[in-house]
Amino acid sequence: MKKIGVFVCHCGRNISSTVNIDEVVEEIKKYPGVALCTDYKYMCSDPGQDLIKKNIQDKKLDGIVIAACSPSLHELTFRNTAVKVGLNPYLTEIANIREQCSWVHSEIKEATPKAISIIESIIEKTKLNESLAPVKVKVNPKALVIGGGIAGIQASLDIANSGHKVILIEKSPSIGGRMAQLSETFPTLDCSQCILTPKMVEVSQHENISLFVYSELEEISGSVGNFKIKIRKKASCVDNNKCTGCGVCSEKCPVSVDSEFDEGMGKRKAIYTPFPQAIPNKPVIDKENCTYFSKDGKCGVCQIVCTLNAIDFDQKDEIVEEEVGAIVIATGYELYPMENMIEYGAGEYPDVINGLQFERLLSASGPTQGEIHRTSDNKIPKRIAFISCVGSRDPEHHLPYCSKICCMYMVKHALLYKEHVPDGEAIVFSIDIRTSGKDYEEFLTRAKEEGNILYIRGKPARIIKQGNDLVVWCINTLTGKQHRVKCDMVVLSMSMVPSSGALDLAKALRIHTNDFGFFTEAHPKLRPVESLVPGFYLAGTAQGPKDIPDTVSQASGAAAKVLTLFSSDEISHSPIIASVNEDLCSGCGICIATCPYDAREMDERKKIVSVNEILCEGCGACISACPSGASQQKNLTDNQIDNMISVLLHSNTKALERE
Amino acid sequence: MKDKKNLTTEINPEIRDILIEMGAEDIYKCYQCGKCTSVCPWFQVEIYDYPVFKFSLETALGVVASSEDKKELDKEIELIYRCVGCEACLEQCPHGISTPNILRAARRLLVDFDSYPETLKSTVQKTHNVGNPFGEHRENRADWAKGLNVLDYQQGMEFLYFPCCLPAYETRNQKVAQATVGVLQKCEVSFGILGVKETCCGEVIRRIGAEDIFKEVAKANIKEFKDSGVKEVLVTSPHCFTTFKNEYPDFGADFEVLHTTQYFSHLIDTGKLKLNKNFDKKVVYHDPCTLGRKNNIYEEPRNILKNIPGLELLEVENFNRSLSLCCGAGSGGLWLEWEKDERIVNVRLKQLTDTGADIIAVACPYCLQMFEETLKSMDVNIKVMDISEIIFECL
């Protein structure tokens, strides 16, 4: 039988004003197995801790109960105290007689017996506690970053600059992401590519970064510290060792299709680099559109014109296997499809375009070299309507959330349009303009005043095409006046949605997303860059709509979390987790389906289920689901819980008898 | 100072709470985007301003029909009764606010105080007294079917055919009921009518705000249907359709409802209704609000028309299906008179005639009545026909 010591804290008058400490001590002294019970005014103070240490040594205690405040406050303090005199930390338990007793009662005669019951039940728990050691696992200090936009670039650079290896994978043929498509960035109006391309170059030249473009994550296994991954490098049909990126192949390629990078506002060839500053500057062949592939080996012009013999039509997808310790998810966003806005004729009227398409028109390196022409007849639009909240803040038909950046990019669009076409008229239709960022409100003020931009408060209901004009119907809800505004072009500030592959990725990684496919953070305020599953970190718009400054901050935050993980060779983990009694387990697998952390796996050889001690968070879901009682939480076994409940019920009966 | 009007309006939470209880529960959802206002059919009447976006906010403040000045009050009441209940606003509202329901709550309050338009008072009273909003004699209700060999409904028949008050009494609309019966007989469908026992479904009086009388009518109808053993009702009017299908169940109804376009479309698809004669006309289909937006029936009427040999089906560009424009007859509109250049029906008829069609196909007695009446004063060469009539011609 264990020798248990019980230390009752007064917590000044926090406990002692409603709990009769003397009575508690007298009662507990009589409790079976208690070798010692004493009290002190502040047990967490140095003299209090000394009292505990002295008694552990003098009485040779092998289990202690501190009756004091919530374990979330001082459990660690008292466990460390006990460790100093050689007692395993998991043999120290807290009986919470403050938050759960003295603070919620005003009558001593109610609080005192309750405090005694609480302490007795914790004594029962402590009696069956085992000495435990934290779970330790080696960490592979190499990171995988998924997505090569500004979030992925920033996270990769931060991790790589700290001396750790990074694998950066990107689905498209170049890194750069959405930011590479933008013209100028709010609120400073600096050129997006000018500030982005140096970072892109840094990535490509960094000795610690292995870049895989035109690649996707094929498979993943393992857990925090030790993931095994397979990357599919899609066949680009170009031998990058031979190719110098001269561009002759693209020039001569006879096939022209809509450019994804230019959002359909410009064309690209079937062999292409998405944009001139692409990193790496090596073309890929789009097999779907290339006539060599779609028409049985006809064409082959690129192969003929390439003097370096770099075109390899027989190239196959390649699977690369790697091992990493942490994964940063930076898969970015897309715009909500315009086709969903039937009332705006969107997707049908060529001159109703989305914000990214307008960015490409504004961009000096865009399909029109920064001149704004409308798609239908190449005319310079003399009046443009900019409409906000398209797809967002519409729980009934579209998306309930605020997409956060649309107001600001719309304000920017209107201003830039006025700079490009000074005699043009910009009309902004909005319900609220949300400028919650540093210098954003000032930017709006400047844009309104300098740009002579007209703001109409109201969400247009329809856009009707009349001849070459687009007519926007709306009501100004400030004046109550109805308007039919004739425009040459309409730019819809479409809402952000997660990248189309994000949901599949979430399934493959087995991590959570919200209803709209944005990856879910571990805590909305205090753990915003981690996933709930250890080892996965979130950066940028994959987690939710955000602007570039927030994206970069979050990417650096995610990198810092990765570096924290990498800062020691091994990680430790609380041992209060599930365990399996192999003799009782029937291998039914119910626990596997129940576990939210994917910590349960079938041992195919033994036909029983085991616990991955690194992944297990000790939530206890599997234990209550287990039909045979084979699953037990360490130091919170069924026996312990039964005993604790018995004591509580018994003392309740005693109390009733007394009455 | 005394003769100056006080423009400050007190916020009146009591009125707000009453209106919420009467069905205006959506008011707090409004974020004042104004989409409702510019899809409202009144937006198409360019000389008239109809401030739809204000209703939810004003209701929330309890300042509905609150003017103390008689003239101002009449104006406010007029605003409340301008709404045709077409739900174009609801269709687009980001928060799904039903302005027609908010206005119906206001109307209920006005009816309680007997402060609503005189013509509508008479509509309500007639429905209450003789079972139809026109004040026609009850014993003449089945006159339209004379000589057509239409049986009284008996238990075991497949359908009760319920023609709606307009096709029962109004000469032009009677042809629709007669054509419908013709098609049913040709397809050997077993059906009957309630004849003189038939009473208005009460849709219009509910929209006018006469909730108590509506409930009385609805309960009486439900009892009549139950007593007669009715399991399934076939209706000509989308207004009867939506009332029976979506509103009567609240009062204990448990019968199925089919609109004639649904049923005829089904008969065509299953080969039971064969259209043999050519109908070499250009036909534009006008989506009735109550069939389309309220009940999502857009394709069945089109399916019928597409299956008619020789018929060329046209659409009103930008204003078809869920974006269709109301004829102006809904929610009491049929009984209200507005200035000649202030009528929704004229705008809609212009849209329909601009398609170059020979025929406007409708699937609602209200639309038919509204269009026929208005076309009399317009110099255009276009005819209005119910889809049932077109089918009947092609048998």
Structure tokens at A554: 């979050």
Say if residue A346's pLDDT is above 90.
Answer: no
Residue pointed to by tokens 């961009």: A363
Please provide the CATH number assigned to the domain covering A574-634.
Answer: 3.30.70.20
Say yes or no for a CB contact (<8 Å) between A394 and B51. Answer: no
- Contact between B319 and B245 (Cβ < 8 Å): no
H-run or E-run covering A306: none
**Same domain (yes/no): B220, B252:** yes
Same domain, B90 and B177: no
pLDDT tens track for A207-222: 999 999 999 999 998 8
Residue of B nearest to A429 (CA): B33
Q: Does B96 touch chain A (CB under 8 A)?
A: yes
Contact criterion met (CB below 8 Å) for B198 and B235: no
- The domain spans of chain A are 4-132, 138-230+321-332+502-570, 235-316, 334-497, 574-634
CATH code of the domain containing B35: 1.10.1060
In whole angstroms, what is the distance from residue A631 CA to residue A341 CA?
A: 53
Contact B323 A342 (CB under 8 A): yes
Residue A652 has pLDDT above 60, yes or no: yes
Quick one: which of A180, A189, A183 has its CA closest to A363?
A183
B2 in any annotated domain? no
Residue B4 pLDDT: 66
Which structure tokens are listed for A353? 């375009």
Residue linked to tokens 């970072």: A199
Residues of B whose CB is below 8 A from A348 = none
Work out whether the CA dihedral A12, A14, A17, A22 comes out positive or negative. negative
The per-residue pLDDT of chain B, averaged, comes to 95
The answer for residues whose C-beta is within 8 angstroms of residue B11's C-beta and 6 or more apart is B61, B62, B63
Of the residues B220, B240, B265, which one is the last residue of a structural domain?
B265
Q: For A423-460, what is each residue's pLDDT tens digit?
A: 999 999 999 999 989 999 999 999 988 888 999 999 99
DSSP A352: E
Instruction: Classify A106 in phi/psi space as left (phi over 0), alpha (psi -120 to 50) or beta.
Output: alpha
Give the CATH number of domain A4-132. Answer: 3.40.50
B318: nearest CA partner in chain A: A464
**Best CA proximity match to A51, nearest among A66, A62, A63:** A66
Q: What is the pLDDT of residue B81?
A: 97
What is the CATH code of the structural domain delimited by A138-230+321-332+502-570?
A: 3.50.50.60
- Residues B161, B282, single domain; the answer is no
* Range in A387-401, A497-511, A604-618, B166-180 with the lowest mean pLDDT: A604-618
| Residue A331 tokens, joined | 């898969």
Residue B65 scores a pLDDT above 80: yes
Average pLDDT, chain A: 94
- Residue A240: pLDDT above 50? yes
In a domain, residue B252? The reply is yes
Same domain (yes/no): B298, B386? yes
Per-residue pLDDT at A613 exceeds 90: no
Is residue A429 classed as helix, strand or coil in its secondary structure? strand
Q: How many helices (H) and strands (E) does chain A have?
A: 18, 36
The residues, ordered by sequence, that sit 6+ positions from B293 with a Cβ below 8 Å of its Cβ are B86, B87, B88, B90, B91, B287, B322, B324
The verdict on B95 and B148 lying in the same domain is: no
Per-residue pLDDT of A463-493, as tens digits, reads 999 999 999 999 999 999 999 999 999 999 9
pLDDT at A10: 97
- HSE value, Cβ hemisphere, 13 Å, CA-based, for B8: 1
- Determine whether the interchain pair B37/A343 forms a contact, defined as Cβ–Cβ distance below 8 Å: no
| pLDDT of the residue at A615 | 82
Whether B181 and B98 share a structural domain: no
Measured CA to CA, the distance from residue B207 to residue B217 in angstroms comes to 14
Question: Do the domains A334-497 and A138-230+321-332+502-570 match in fold?
Answer: yes
How far is it, in rounded angstroms, from Cα B148 to Cα B74?
48
Give the pair of three-digit tokens for residue B390.
């077109």
What pLDDT score was predicted for residue A155? Answer: 98
B239 vs B2, residue with greater confidence: B239
Q: Identify the pLDDT of residue A298.
A: 83
Name A146's Cβ contacts closer than 8 Å, sequence gap at least 6: A152, A169, A217, A327, A328, A329, A330, A331, A505
Q: Is B33 on the interface with A (CB under 8 A)?
A: yes
Please judge whether B43 and A458 are an interchain contact, meaning their C-beta atoms are less than 8 angstroms apart.
no
Residue A658: its pLDDT value, please? 64
- Domain end among B229, B246, B265: B265
Closest CA to B356 of B298, B387, B389, B312: B312
Question: What is the reported pLDDT for A297?
Answer: 78
- Judged against a pLDDT cut of 90, whether residue A84 lies above it is answered with yes
* Extended strands (E) in A30-163: 34-40, 64-68, 92-96, 135-138, 142-146
Q: Select the more confidently predicted residue: B190 or A615.
A: B190
Provide the residue count of chain B.
395
For the four alpha carbons of B89, B94, B95 and B96, in that order, the dihedral sign comes to: positive
Q: How many CA atoms lie within 13 Å of B168's alpha carbon, on the beta-carbon side?
A: 28
Q: Which of A397, A458, A480 sits opposite B94 (nearest CB)?
A: A397
Residue B324 is assigned to a structural domain of this protein = yes
User: b/e string for A286-305 if b means 16 or more Cβ within 10 A?
Assistant: beebbbbbeeeeebebbbee
d(CA B241, CA B166): 14
Residue whose token pair is 């002190």:
A40
Pair B110, B123 in one domain: no
Q: At residue B347, does pLDDT exceed 90?
A: yes
pLDDT tens-place string over residues A593-606: 999 888 899 999 99
- Please check whether residues B177 and B72 belong to one and the same domain: no
Instruction: Clarify whether residues B249 and B320 are in a common domain.
Output: no
> What distance separates the 2 farthest-apart alpha carbons in chain A?
101
Question: Does residue B32 belong to the interface with chain A, where contact is any CB pair within 8 Å?
Answer: yes
**A132 is written with which tokens?**
């435990």
B38 CB within 8 Å of a chain A CB: yes
Partners of A476 on chain B (C-beta within 8 Å) are 34
Report the topology of domain A334-497.
FAD/NAD(P)-binding domain (3.50.50)
Tokens at residue B263, please? Answer: 């049923």
Q: pTM for the full model? A: 0.85
Using an 8 Å CB-CB cutoff, list chain A residues near B322.
Answer: 342
Domain C-terminal end among B61, B96, B116: B116
Q: Using the beta-carbon criterion (under 8 Å), do B38 and A474 form an inter-chain contact?
A: yes
User: Confidence class of residue A651 from pLDDT cuts 50, 70 and 90?
Assistant: confident
Cα–Cα distance measured from residue A427 to residue A22, given in angstroms and rounded to the nearest whole number:
78
B45 found inside a domain: yes
In sequence order, which residues have a C-beta less than 8 Å from that of residue A296 and are 6 or more positions away?
Answer: none
Residue A319 vs residues A218, A219, A232, A316, B323: alpha-carbon distances, Å? 8, 10, 5, 10, 51
A617 CB-near residues (< 8 Å, 6+ apart): A577, A597, A599
Distance in angstroms (rounded) separating the CA atoms of residues A327 and A534: 10
Do residues A168 and A211 lie in contact, with contact meaning Cβ atoms separated by under 8 Å? yes
Decide which of A652 and A168 is more confident.
A168
Contacts of A394 in chain B (CB under 8 A): 94-95
CA distance A245 to A602: 50
Q: Could you read off the pLDDT of B280-332 as tens digits, one per residue?
A: 999 999 999 999 999 999 999 999 999 999 999 999 999 999 999 999 999 99
Strand pairing partners for B362?
B386
* Interface test with chain A among B35, B47, B293, by most A beta carbons within 10 Å: B35
Enumerate the residues of chain B whose CB falls inside 8 A of the CB of residue A340: none
pLDDT at A294: 87
Chain A residues near residue B33 by CB distance under 8 angstroms: 389, 431, 458-459, 477
Do the beta carbons of residue A454 and residue A427 sit within 8 Å?
A: yes
CB-based contact A475 B32, cutoff 8 Å: no
Identity of the residue in A342, A473, A477 whose CB atom sits nearest the CB atom of B53: A477
Dihedral pair phi/psi, residue B354, rounded to 5°: -60, -20
Query: To 10 degrees, the CA torsion angle through A637, A641, A647, A653?
Result: -150
Q: Print the SS3 string covering A151-176.
A: HHHHHHHHHHHCCCEEEEECCCCCCC
Residue A390 clears pLDDT 60, i.e. is over it: yes
Q: What is the DSSP letter of B324?
A: P
| Alpha-helical regions (H) of B4-159 | 13-21, 35-39, 54-61, 70-82, 88-92, 99-112, 118-130
Same domain (yes/no): B63, B131? no
The count of CB pairs under 8 A between chains A and B is 77
Within this chain, do residues B281 and B159 fall inside the same structural domain, yes or no?
Answer: no
Q: How many domains does chain B have?
A: 3
The answer, yes or no, to whether residue A2 has pLDDT greater than 90, is no
Q: Is the pLDDT of residue B2 over 90?
A: no
Inside any domain, residue B3? no
What is the mean pLDDT of the segment spanning A52-59?
96
Q: How far apart are CA A309 and CA A316, in angstroms?
A: 17
- What distance in Å separates the CA atoms of residue B372 and residue B367, rounded to the nearest whole number? 8
Number of C-beta neighbours around residue B68 at 10 A: 9
CB B35 within 8 A of CB B87: no
Compute how many other C-beta atoms are within 10 angstroms of the C-beta atom of residue A635.
20
Which residues of A make CB contacts under 8 Å with B?
342-343, 345, 389, 393-398, 431-432, 457-462, 464-465, 473-477, 480-482
pLDDT of residue B1: 46
Domain residues for the domain of B57 are 13-116
Provide the pLDDT for residue A295: 81
Helix ranges (DSSP H) in B84-210 = 88-92, 99-112, 118-130, 165-169, 171-186, 203-208
Convert the pLDDT of each residue in A537-560 to its tens digit: 999 999 999 999 999 999 999 999
d(Cα A8, Cα A65) in Å, to the nearest integer?
8
**What is the band of A105 on the pLDDT scale with cuts at 50, 70, 90?**
very high
Cβ–Cβ below 8 Å for B323 and A397: no
